Amino acid sequence: MSSPLLVRRWADLDAAARAAFLARGLDDIFDPALQASIAALVADVREHGDAAICRALERFDGCSVAPGDLRVTDAEFAAARAETPAAVQDAIRQAIDHSRRFNERALEHGDWRFDIEPGLMVGEKRTAIASAGLFVPSGKGSFPSVLVQIGTPAVVAGVPEIRVVVPPIPGSDGKVDPAVLVVADELGLRDVFRANGPAGVAALAFGTESIAACRKVLGPGSPPVASAQLEMQRHGVVGMQILAASESMVIADATADSRLLAADLLNEAEHGTDSASVLLTWEPEVIERVQPELVRQLAALPEPRRTMAAAAIGVNGGAVLVRDRAEAIEVANLYAPEHMQLATADDEAVLAGIEHAGEVLLGQHTPFSAGNYLIGIPATLPTSGYARVTSGVTALAFTKTISLARASAEALAVMAPAIVALADHEGFPAHAAVIHKRLDPQG
């Protein structure tokens, strides 16, 4: 069996080939036909509420649900406990505990103040957003880890109103994944609703008879779900565009264990045929050694995971050979992957140059699956290069800051000439007047 790994030499790629390698997934989100279809669905939910959600469930999920049955019942929560294996429930509790502790640390210095000049205090007060809508995918399988990843930070942040939308299990006629309900129960979240992905996003944004509107909507999803979140932003609802298409990059040198390297490349590759898994190295022998391991390990995967993983390393991703470590860092920052692992002789030296990545896992004892499930760091991360401008979901994503300042009379007097100069320059006499009246009470 020939190696499934697509090998590219960065120096041999022209500008168009490099752009194609870097721009993954975006065409799917911004496809005009998809955007038009999602806009129509969103408009239907906005106008017709629960009835539109039920129509979307019938059309896209093949299940018939009455408008009054969108909310998950207490009986379903109780049944979910009985249906979810004890080992999975224990793992969920461990994952929530680690995520909770990570996010509590992220918020430790939420409020701060300091004297920027004598007599002039500045600072910030951090507060939770008023409400959050969380989307948890369900179409391709059971993903309780997603609700751990986005629900725990929202709870830690202190968001007073949290609502969760989950598409029903395919072919179940409306049943919500029991493992997801166990996570919701552990987090104390009871506002859980069954709804199709894009329609559920619209419901969270606009509100319906059953689902109250939320000020921020987020959660990973397919291109239609991402497109719906983009549409919500057009209507003034803050969203986070996170594609479900998974992507990973491993930067490795000859010190890496090839057997583990192959396993790590296949980790995120098995998510789907739209996933991308990239090996980045400046040593050709790394590619040579990993290829037979990939052949063996890929053959051991069951279908359809084998086909998905083959696409991720043979069509969408593959190995990229660069000149040296410096060029590897340059290419990694251009790619800005969702998941990154470093498997080199000096991971800290490589990390020093990394500026754009959703997460960086240091060393081969820190595999992607550990980050995905249990370590506690964010695992719901920006994809398609969005790591260049945004971060993974932490408690900070569910908070905002209020700027604070207090000036003494002496500090204001020191600033006065500069304030007046700028006010006069910009033509705002009332801005200058508030200064003059404080410095000259008779003026």
The reply to whether 71 falls in a domain is: yes
Q: How confident is the model at residue 171 (pLDDT cuts 50, 70, 90)?
A: confident
User: Distance (Å, rounded) from C-alpha 55 to C-alpha 45?
Assistant: 10
Q: Mark whether 37 and 182 lie in a shared domain.
A: yes
If asked whether residues 213 and 313 sit together in one domain, one would say no
CATH number, domain at 220?
A: 3.40.50.1980
Judgement on whether residues 300 and 225 belong to the same structural domain of the protein: no
Handedness of CA 3, 8, 9, 10 (dihedral sign): negative
Look at residues 355, 376, 397 and tell me which one is the last residue of a structural domain: 376
Whether residue 1 is contained in a domain is answered as no
384 domain-assigned: no
Rg from Cα positions in the chain: 25
* pLDDT for res 32: 85
Of 137-141, 324-328, 367-371, the one with minimum mean pLDDT is 137-141
Residue 229 structural domain:
29-240
Band of pLDDT at residue 179, cut at 50, 70 and 90 = very high
Residue where one domain finishes, among candidates 240, 258, 287: 240
Would you place residue 238 in the very low, low, confident or very high pLDDT band (cuts 50, 70, 90)? low
pLDDT on residue 56: 92
Same domain, 52 and 11: no
Are 75 and 201 within one domain? yes
Cβ atoms < 10 Å from Cβ of 10:
19
* Active-site annotation holds for 161: no
Residue 414 scores a pLDDT above 90: yes
Indicate the residue among 240, 272, 307 that finishes a domain. 240
pLDDT band at 233 (very low <50, low <70, confident <90, very high): confident
Band the pLDDT of 25: cuts 50, 70, 90.
low
Look up the pTM and report it: 0.90
Task: Let me know whether 73 and 193 are in one domain.
Answer: yes
Given 271, 283, 339, 359, the catalytic residue: 339
Mean pLDDT of 371-383: 92
Which residues, listed in sequence order, are joined to residue 361 by a DSSP beta bridge? 341
Q: Indicate if 225 and 249 belong to the same structural domain.
A: no
The values of phi and psi at residue 83, to 5°, are: -90, -15
Q: Which whole number is the average pLDDT over 183-205?
A: 95
In a shared domain, residues 250 and 234: no
Q: Over range 353-374, report the average pLDDT.
A: 96
Whether 113 and 404 have beta carbons less than 8 Å apart is answered as yes
Domain assignment of residue 396, yes or no: no
Nearest to 319 by CA among 249, 246, 367, 247: 249
Q: What is the pLDDT of residue 170?
A: 86
> Of the given ranges (66-75, 221-230, 331-340), which has the lowest mean pLDDT?
221-230
Question: What gap in Å lies between CA 411 and CA 118, rounded to an integer?
Answer: 7
Mean of the per-residue pLDDT values for the chain?
92
Tens-place pLDDT, residues 120-169: 999 999 999 999 999 999 877 789 999 999 999 999 999 999 999 999 99
**Can 355 be counted among the known catalytic residues?**
no
pLDDT tens-place string over residues 286-318: 999 999 999 999 999 999 999 999 999 999 999
Q: Decide if pLDDT at 349 tops 60.
A: yes
Q: Give 399's strand partners.
A: 128
Residue 128 lies in a domain: yes
Query: 231 pLDDT band (50/70/90 cuts)?
Result: confident
* Domain co-membership, 77 together with 148: yes
Nearest to 235 by CA among 42, 47, 69: 42
The percent of residues in the chain predicted with pLDDT above 70, rounded, is 97
Phi, psi for 320 (deg, rounded to 5): -120, 120
Alpha carbons 52 and 49: distance in angstroms, whole number: 6
Q: For residue 283, give every residue at least 6 positions away whose Cβ sits within 8 Å of its Cβ, in sequence order, or none.
A: 253, 254
Q: What is the pLDDT of residue 243?
A: 63
Give the confidence band of 241 by pLDDT, cuts at 50, 70, 90. low
256 in the same domain as 225? no
Residues forming a β-bridge with 134: 164, 218
On the question of pLDDT at 34 being above 90, the answer is no
Tell me, yes or no, whether 400 lies in a domain.
no
Task: Based on the fold, state whether residues 186 and 255 are members of the same structural domain.
Answer: no
> Is the pLDDT confidence value at 239 over 70?
no
Residue 395 located in a structural domain = no
The answer to whether residues 101 and 125 belong to one domain is yes
Asked whether residue 2 is assigned to any structural domain, the reply reads no
Q: What is the total count of domains within the chain? A: 3
